[in-house]
Structures are given as C-alpha cells and as structure tokens.
Structure 1
C-alpha cells in the first residue's frame, strides 16, 4: 500500500516515499523473484491456482505525482499497479489531511493517462469519506456514483474499491458489493474476510530491504487466508 511518491521532507502522515526509495524497493522485490501487478491481475492469477510470485501494488488517493515519479519507476522494473482515485476531487488537493502538506490530485486527463499506461484504475470513494460514518445517500454516492463516474472517465469497467482511511464495517462492505465491485482493499479488516476486505501492508520511506522482508513475512503469518481466494 503506497500513497504519494515525491518529497518526503514534510510528511506528518508518513504517506510519501521518494522516487529513489521506490526504485530500491521495487529492485528488492524483483530480486526476491516477485513482480508487482495490479490487484485484478493478482486475483485472476489466484483464481487459476497461480500468482505465487506476484504481489499487488496499490497507490491510494490518486496523487498527481504518480505520473512523473511512480509510473516511470514501475515501468523500469516491469511492474504494474492499481491506482485508487477520487472522481469527486479530480484536480483538487488532499483537504482531508488537516496537518498538510497540500498535495495535488490527478486531473481527469491524468487518470486517463495512467489508465492508458496499463495501470488499473479503482475507486477510493467519491470524496474520501469514512464509509463507517456515512448516511445511506452518502454511502451510495461514495460507492456506486464514484464507480459510474470512473467508468465514464476511463471507458472501462471499474472492479476495485479502496476504503478511505482503511475503515470498514459490514454495512460498508455490503454497499461496496451492491455497487458492483468485484473486490475491495482495506488495511486491517479485523474479523471480516473475503474479496471485499483484502488486507494490505503499508510501505513507507523508512522501509529498507530488511524491513520489507519482515513486513512481507509477518503479513503472511498475521493475516488468515482470505475466504474465496486460493
């Protein structure tokens, strides 16, 4: 689970990795015999009983720096990814982070450029709202409306969702499933399981090769197998 790729000098939420650090992390990944792919590609491989050497790479929020700082690095190491964007905030900034700094978000053209480069586009909700605190109308907008907008924008079906803040409950899961998503990513889904609450590991600027190895192994130990996935 990545977010922004750029300047890490002012990063109170630890959501940023530098392009150089991302380069080293992907180099480490490939040296382990692993390849970064989109979530959809990983799930499709798992459904065939394959995917042992694949790792899904996700980038939350749809920061504009993805195009110049992440996409070239992914291409150099033969990796793809899933980019979760906010169709209700295209061209805006991350106002949901009160401590700042303000980071620009992708425009509609930027999202299309990422999709044209082979990046899977998924929804991160409409406006980055905590779904566990949303009323019924807000829940529909954040799930179904955001999916429809992204489908219109990219011209392709949108199958993936990512819960803002990683917060999720059964009501949110049901709304995401009802909106037609094939899968959804969380962080720590607690007692929930299944393809609509996939757990992830946060990757940050301080994650060296040793830390990545520990995170990779501990994640496999701490997370029970997801029901419905091989």
Structure 2
C-alpha cells in the first residue's frame, strides 16, 4: 500500500474538471444594495429548488472536494456565503435545511458583531456574533475564514497578511473548537504571495472569484449568484462554467 506522502503527491498531480462553486453574500433586504450582493429569501429558495430539481445537491466546499477525491462528487455543487452576515441564520440556514443542502460560511473573526464597514457605499449590514457563528456550525455549516477584517491581501504588508490568514484561522478554531480548512480571499483578490500564505497557514483549500493564471485547490474559482439568476441563467452558468475554466490541479 502506498504511503500517505505518495498519495498526497499523486493527489497534487491530479487534474480534474473545475468544480461548480456558487458565491453568495447576504440573504434578505435588497434595499440600498449598490454592489448587488443580496438575494431575497424567495429567490434563494427558487435557486435551491432548481439545484434539487436538476438532481444536484448543494454542499460545503470541504464536502465537495472530499467527494471528488473519492470520485463521488459528480452531482454535487458547492455553496458558499461570504462575509458572515447575520441574516444567514434567519434566512439562509432554514432554506438550506429545507432543501437538504449544506454550505460553507466564510466569516471575519476580527469583526464579530460588527458590520460591513469595508463597503464605502450602501447601508451597514450586521455581521454574525461569535454565538451566531457557533449556531451556524451547530447547524451543520462548514465555517471558513474570510480573513480577520476583510483586507485585500494583494495590497497588504507581510505582517498584515500573516494576521489576516494565520491569525484568523487560530481565532476561528478557538471559537468553534473545530479545525478550519477553508479560506476565502477578500474581494476575490489573490496573487501567488497570498496563495503561499494561505497554504503555509495550513488551510486545505481557498476560494477566489477569478484566480487568473493561478491554479489548484488554494485558488478555486467561483460563480457569483445574484437576484437576477433565474432558472435559465443558472442552467447556463452550470453548463458553461467548465468551458470557461481550465481543469483544476489537485482536484
């Protein structure tokens, strides 16, 4: 039987189709939403219904990658929610439960109970408290890091990058009393230095938006899903995403 090191090396060399990972943010009130980061609960329910009608199931990124490693992830899609908005507990989690879906929630342990102060436009949206994050985890949601305070890592100095990446993981693991495997680059901004920092901090994977020339499980692309994404648009995004992306190394 091959040793674990050999298995890890084979996994790193493996190249598979790009996983379909949806990116959400807030679920709730869409008034004063200049960045179009919010979907209504009604729209999210229709989108989850579409997923299930297609014979698919939404899962956390961790579950998706683990299933693909076993050759069993063909009918799974990743669902992610960025920033850790408080409305996740009120609107998203009940719908995920209703439709038998899982998800990854990327949160900011440096802004617990705060708001989206990094957004210069639009209204202030409250973020989850420490207790809210624990409640989401208890509900079966995978908790990942979005950094400490939502800083663009490609523009930050080395000490800031270290705190945002490694520091946020340590805080979340203490908060949830569970390992934290996933990271999400704030603003989707990623470069090789950020990837190296995330990998070096011990994360198993990381999500971006459009990672450009970067590849691998620490630079996973995602698709923004918004209020305008009806059944037809979801179908096109699902069918076309592999044509627009090269295969992912290590998946």
* Structure whose alpha-carbon radius of gyration is higher: 2
In the alignment, the residues of structure 1 paired with residue 67 and residue 73 of structure 2 have an alpha-carbon distance, to the nearest angstrom, of 5
Residue 36 of structure 2: which of 1, 10, 14 is its match?
Answer: 14
* 1:9-56 residue CA offsets vs partner (Å, 9 max, x unmatched): 221001000000000000000000000000000000000011000000
Question: Is 1:202 the equivalent of 2:214?
Answer: no
Choose from 103, 116, 131 the match for 1:94.
Answer: 116
**2:52 aligned residue:** 30
2:77 partner SS: strand
RMSD of aligned alpha carbons = 0.5
Q: TM-score, normalised by structure 1?
A: 0.99
* Residue 184 of structure 1 pairs with residue 209 of structure 2: no
Aligned to 1:146: 168
Matched residue SS, 2:249: coil
User: How far did residue 202 of structure 1 move?
Assistant: 0.2
**Unpaired stretches in structure 2, ≥5 consecutive residues:** 1-22
Q: After the TM superposition, list the runs of 4 or more consecutive aligned residues in structure 1 that deviate by more than 3 angstroms.
A: none
- State the match for 2:78 in structure 1: 56
Q: What is the number of residues matched between the two proteins?
A: 229
Provide TM-score, normalisation by structure 2. Answer: 0.91
How far apart are the structure 1 equivalents of 2:31 and 2:40?
A: 10
* Residue 134 of structure 2 corresponds to residue 116 of structure 1: no
Q: Which has the higher contact order (CA 8 A, sep 6+)?
A: 2
- The Cα shift of 1:150 comes to 0.1
| Counterpart pick for 1:165 among 147, 166, 187 | 187
Matched, 1:82 2:104: yes
In the TM superposition, residue 215 of structure 1 has moved relative to its aligned partner by 1.1
